[in-house]
Structure 1
């Protein structure tokens, strides 16, 4: 297989002579399966071969010893080739060297996950609270989407503890907990996010006390910040601005075709980012022109008429943009390894195109297009109940806040005689 990437026999012989040649060839086969470009493969192979020689020179005699030499090799590489570069460029070069090595080791060393961005631990407190995820699933009955949110907050809490050098959960104190909440407060995030983080933290602390990790239940010390359910205003933009966002997407590229289809789904149906990311080929009924959104936040499934514009955009992506893969998810990463796109990527792409259009809005993201869809339905005088059902709200109270942006209806109330309001 190496002959596909290198012409000179001496180069191929050098790779075959490496003491980690079987691991390198396994890695090359994996990259080919993941549809890495030839240039990417030929760029990565010399790095992993050089890493093998470095590790051997520094005492590694078995493949299982290799993980101990990753960081020393990366630093040596930067010192030799990027010493005079800027700090930012040195970090980029370090990532470019570290990532292929970690990918190879994940294939070659059983149990190795490294510290790569795509391989965050499911439970950041696995060593001291190993049964946490099982507790959340089996006893709390949380769904996978809720588990994912728990993991986000717990990773942030773990990072905070590492930063302040608290290495034992038994050392948790009111000061530590209040410090984390204070650091997590707005304007960094919204008050509702802070409340969610407090809720996760309280569940975690109760679990630690139950398991004997904490001698005392500290959950009552985590106070929920005062917030009001309908205090804010949905951050929507006008439909003209939505069209401006869509017009700013370059549909000549594969990523542009994908992004255009995703943005249309957000704006047309008011979908959530997670619903777009989890959409599968089986959810589209081309014959009957129907689009099915499964397992919504409310726990239900919604079926929509498939808009001609949305359908055409998805077809264009499937025919001329989507990489060949066995995955059933509609939207895929454009770069290898080809995997289903995540909900965070949908949020980021929406934010990118909103900013690209020059539209200023607090916390730009996919929800801006969702709110804009609701705004358009309100302007068309659809009842709030119908709108809530359309966008998949769990209860009518979730839709009530949109009454704040029904400007024309509010104006009629203001100029009415009062009797109609009663």
Structure 2
């Protein structure tokens, strides 16, 4: 299969030498099967050829160890070749796993493993928390146990006192960068300390020694864009290319429905109710499905994309990546990158993060300014509590001035 990409005999001989020489034809066939462009596959094969030669000179065993992979990647000078090398090596690992040693996994110390397993079981089955929430709590527990192992190596959890907790919290807060992370850090610490008491590992109420970290949810205005800027960005998208058709539909759906990043990535073809002009949003953050209206302009753009520009693959996800291999978007950064790129191309200067949530905030702000009922805005955005939607009232300056009381002894 290497002949599909290279034709000179000397180049083919070089590619078939080295630590991966016997697998290069299989790897080349893999790149062709998953749909990589000809030029992209040649770049990856060339990177693998250099790595294969490097591994042949460095390997001490029949299999390629992870430290050889790391040393080769670090030998490359800039970020772009490093990313291409890691991607190519990961493909080679999938095709020929027997040629690579299994990478070592970083695990907790043996004496902490059962405790963390019991804590995770408590979070899932007693507290009933979602897997994503459990991840954050478990990460915090590992940090707590690491600090305890360093500072109290000869003492068990039963010897933990309020003084120790204060030192622990001081260390954890030093790792936090803002009010939000500090608030979650102290909350996670209290949860773990309550578990220690619940499990009978410490008979003191240590959670009360963890200070409360204020996090004023309504202290800041949400980032937002003028509606005219969003409309100008959508109108500026070139729809002569399939990616332009997709991006226009994507931005219109985000800007008119307020879907979250994960919700737009998980959207499937059967979730679009064309006849009633609605979109069914499943697996939301609030753990309940909701239905949002599909406006005419967004529906027309979405239909154009599905009928004429969407790749024909088995996946039912609506929005797909055009970068080979064609597949659904897996990571939030992919959607954010599209939104940010389109906004910047239209000349909008962005000072902070820009993604699906920026369009979501902009839609909510626009609806509030149009004097739409706040509960209606909350239902559209999928908020479980009206307090979550209340932050958008702060940007409704005309409405606030209408209800403001006159200052005693003077006029507004």
> 8 Å contact 1:375–1:405 — kept in the other structure?
yes
Deviations 1:62-103 (A, max 9, x none): 23x343421333355x3xxxxxxxxxx534333333331233
Give the structure 2 partner of residue 381 of structure 1.
Answer: 371
Give the structure 1 partner of residue 78 of structure 2.
Answer: 90
Question: Residue 393 of structure 1: CA displacement?
Answer: 0.5
Question: Residue 214 of structure 1: CA displacement?
Answer: 10
Give the structure 2 partner of residue 305 of structure 1.
Answer: 293
Give the structure 1 partner of residue 31 of structure 2.
Answer: 31
How many residues were matched structurally?
A: 388
Q: How does 1:120-131 map to 2 (within 5 A)?
A: 128-129=112-113, 131=117
Q: Distance in 1 between matches of 2:175 and 2:402?
A: 44
Please say which of residues 372-381 and 250-259 is displaced more in the overlay.
250-259
Aligned mate of 1:401, from 371, 391, 395: 391
Matched, 1:50 2:38: no
Aligned mate of 1:371, from 334, 338, 361: 361
- Cα RMSD of the aligned pairs, angstroms, is 4.0
Report the TM-score, using the length of structure 2 for normalisation. 0.77
Q: How does 1:14-413 map to 2 (within 5 A)?
A: 14-16=14-16, 20-21=20-21, 23-63=23-63, 65-75=64-74, 78=76, 90-109=78-97, 128-129=112-113, 131=117, 135-147=122-134, 150=136, 154=139, 170-171=149-150, 175=167, 177-186=169-178, 191-203=179-191, 222-341=210-329, 342-356=331-345, 357-359=347-349, 363-413=353-403
Question: Residue 396 of structure 1: CA displacement?
Answer: 1.7
Deviations 1:28-54 (A, max 9, x none): 333233321111112222332332333
Distance of aligned partners of 1:4 and 1:271 in 2 relative to their CA distance in 1, 3 Å threshold: same
> 8 Å contact 1:292–1:301 — kept in the other structure?
yes
Distance of aligned partners of 1:8 and 1:239 in 2 relative to their CA distance in 1, 3 Å threshold: same
Distance of aligned partners of 1:57 and 1:182 in 2 relative to their CA distance in 1, 3 Å threshold: closer
Q: Distance in 1 between matches of 2:107 and 2:305?
A: 37
Question: Residue 293 of structure 1: CA displacement?
Answer: 0.5
Q: Which runs of 5+ in 2 are unaligned?
A: 152-163
Which protein has the larger Cα radius of gyration, Structure 1 or Structure 2? 2
> 8 Å contact 2:335–2:356 — kept in the other structure?
yes
Question: Residue 276 of structure 1: CA displacement?
Answer: 1.2
> 8 Å contact 1:379–1:406 — kept in the other structure?
yes
> 8 Å contact 1:237–1:369 — kept in the other structure?
yes
Q: Distance in 2 between matches of 1:193 and 1:386?
A: 31
Report the TM-score, using the length of structure 1 for normalisation. 0.75
Give the structure 2 partner of residue 82 of structure 1.
Answer: none
Matched, 1:7 2:36: no
Give the structure 1 partner of residue 158 of structure 2.
Answer: none
Please say which of residues 65-74 and 350-359 is displaced more in the overlay.
350-359
